[in-house]
Amino acid sequence: QHRFSMTTGMQVALPVCLFAAIFLWTGSAGVFIPNLTEACYRCLCFVATKCEISHSCTAGYCGPFNISRVYWVDSGRVTLPDDDPERNHAWEDCARQYDCAKGIIEGYLQRYGRDCSGDGVTDCFDYMMVNGNGGPGCTAPLNGSVNGRRWLERYELCRNSLY
């Protein structure tokens, strides 16, 4: 007959839990955002500028995702590797580079991403609404403005071709 005491259980459980915590902490690449796939990034990019990779800055919005400085600040001030977020044009340089701009999008959606459409699922459509309306006001319908209707049309085109 094997006796299992509370002390023996703790001696086994504690190292296993510690190992799992260390593995999960070091093995993760950041916060998981559901449904933020490469296809979704492509659609968000297409909605913003038709994903013009060479899009520079126009009226305070930069890069293929059309990112503003305020959006960049809200995202956590993501920069290119070895850049300084305090440098005057750091946000523009990151926003104009697709992979760095994806980091800005991810930071913003970590902060504001939620079910904006009210359908019970947080998906790429919701992220498009976050970008179109701004994070705090993401539930507002997009079809009320010319720009919003253009975003909806572009999103449908992209969604139908990538999903």
Q: Return mean pLDDT, the chain.
A: 84
14-18, 68-72, 96-100, 103-107, range with the lowest pLDDT: 14-18
- Positive or negative CA dihedral for 68, 134, 74, 104? negative
pTM: 0.79
Q: How confident is the model at residue 33 (pLDDT cuts 50, 70, 90)?
A: confident
pLDDT at residue 24 above 70?
Answer: no
What does the alpha-carbon distance between residue 35 and residue 163 come to, in Å, rounded to a whole number?
A: 12
Residues 6+ apart with CB under 8 A from 162: 39, 42, 43
Average pLDDT for residues 98-108, to the nearest whole number? 97
Q: What pLDDT sits at residue 106?
A: 97
Q: How many CA atoms lie within 13 A of 33 on its CB side?
A: 23
- The owner of tokens 């002390």 is 7
Q: What pLDDT sits at residue 30?
A: 55
Q: What percent of the chain has pLDDT over 90?
A: 75
Q: How confident is the model at residue 11 (pLDDT cuts 50, 70, 90)?
A: very low
